[in-house]
Amino acid sequence: MTTGDDLAAMERLTVRSDQDVVRVRQLVRTLAVSVKLSLVDQTKLVTAASELARNTLVYGGGGTVEAGRVDNGRRSGIRIVFADQGPGIPDLDLALTDGYTTGGGLGLGLSGARRLVDEFDIDTVVGQGTTISVTKWCR
Amino acid sequence: MERVPVLKIGDILLVSIQIDMEDQVALQLQEDLADRIVATGCHGVIIDISALDIVDSFVGRTLATIASISRVLDAETVVVGMRPAVAITLVELGLSLPGIRTALNVELGMALLAQHRDLAFFHDDDEDDADEAVVTAS
């Protein structure tokens, strides 16, 4: 997946507040427009980024978001990496189930975001944190 | 923190969300609307989201909560102006907004509320003739 893709310089944002989640949405929107994602795909990517940035804040206790253009020789797209040093996810299968939540939300953030992107990789260690990488390719 | 204005037009409260809302702004809107419904006695709420280029699960949930709160306070909520790409994304996200009435624009939303009000007014009628009820009311 990640190997072989040509990754341009990533822009980095810190996520510590509600306002930062808005900034993540704005950055991802700008990037999505710059690689000419279709309107529906822009909407899907920005929505997924909003869900995951909020997770980084609410469940991960804050963290960082890096986003940039990616190229695999055939297509270009946008990759976004969300990282936190929070508690990690003990049961990943459960966390990816629609409707499961520990935070009082709808439990659609993680599972829903996965459906909205083309590639979704999650790396989590209990007690150390969670890193989620998503990619949306131009059609 | 920014705030979303709530406008009163006759028996309707109109909210047009024109900014990319922080979560706190959405929660504030929920409280402001509940207060305004009680203060004005309005029976309808229209939320225009035509300026929103995304609705994520948080905003979706807030809209659903606003609709529930309004109903308890004797007001009907209609969400209007959703963009096609937003509708596609919401459904794929898994959020179909159950319990929320929608209309394509503010005008149709107002018509829907007027119709709802007339039907509710004549709810006790044995003859359940909606057309007749509308005529009598006007």
CB A132 within 8 A of CB A121: yes
Cα–Cα distance, A45 to A31 (Å, whole number): 10
CB A62 within 8 A of CB A16: yes
Res. B24: pLDDT tops 60: yes
At A7-60, the pLDDT tens digits run 878 999 999 999 999 999 999 999 999 999 999 999 999 999 999 999 999 999
Q: Verify whether the Cβ–Cβ distance B94 to A115 is below 8 Å.
A: yes
Cα–Cα distance, A11 to A78 (Å, whole number): 11
Determine which of A28, A30, A43, A58 to mutate to test the interface with B (most B C-beta atoms within 10 Å).
Answer: A43
Res. B129: pLDDT tops 60: no
At A54-95, the pLDDT tens digits run 999 999 999 999 999 999 989 999 999 999 999 999 999 888
Interface pTM (ipTM) of the complex? 0.89
Res. B136: pLDDT tops 80: no
Res. B134: pLDDT tops 50: no
The A residues from 104 to 123 touching B (CB cutoff 8 Å) are: 105-106, 108-109, 111-113, 115-116
At B53-90, the pLDDT tens digits run 999 999 999 999 999 999 999 999 999 999 999 999 99
Backbone angles phi, psi at A82, to 5 degrees: -105, 125
Query: What is the number of other CB atoms lying within 10 angstroms of the CB of residue A85?
Result: 15
A50/chain B closest Cα distance in angstroms = 7
In the CATH scheme, what is the homologous superfamily, with its name and number, of domain A6-137? Histidine kinase-like ATPase, C-terminal domain (3.30.565.10)
Residue B93 has its nearest CB partner, among A29, A40, A108, at A108
3-state secondary structure of B44: strand
Compare all CA atoms of chain B with the CA of A111 and give the residue at the minimum distance.
B93
- Architecture of the domain delimited by B6-104: 2-Layer Sandwich (3.30)
CA B44 to centroid of chain Cα atoms: 7
Chain B CB contacts of A42 below 8 Å: 53, 85
Whether A6 and chain B come into contact, CB under 8 Å, resolves to no
CA atoms within 13 A on the CB side of A127: 0
Whether B2 and chain A come into contact, CB under 8 Å, resolves to no
CA B2 to centroid of chain Cα atoms: 21
State both tokens at B50.
């035509």
Chain B CB contacts of A97 below 8 Å: none
Bridge-based pairing of strands B44-48 and B12-16 is: parallel
- CB neighbour list of residue A43: distance below 8 Å, 6 or more residues apart: B53, B54, B83, B85, B86, B88, B89
What's the pLDDT at B86?
97
- CB neighbour list of residue B10: distance below 8 Å, 6 or more residues apart: none
The letter for the amino acid at A113 is A
Residue pointed to by tokens 């929660």: B27
Nearest Cα neighbor of A7 from A118, A119, A113, A135 is A135
Nearest Cα neighbor of A125 from A60, A78, A65, A51 is A60
What's the pLDDT at B137?
43
What mean pLDDT is reported for chain A? 92
pTM of the model: 0.89
Do you know the residue count of chain A? 139
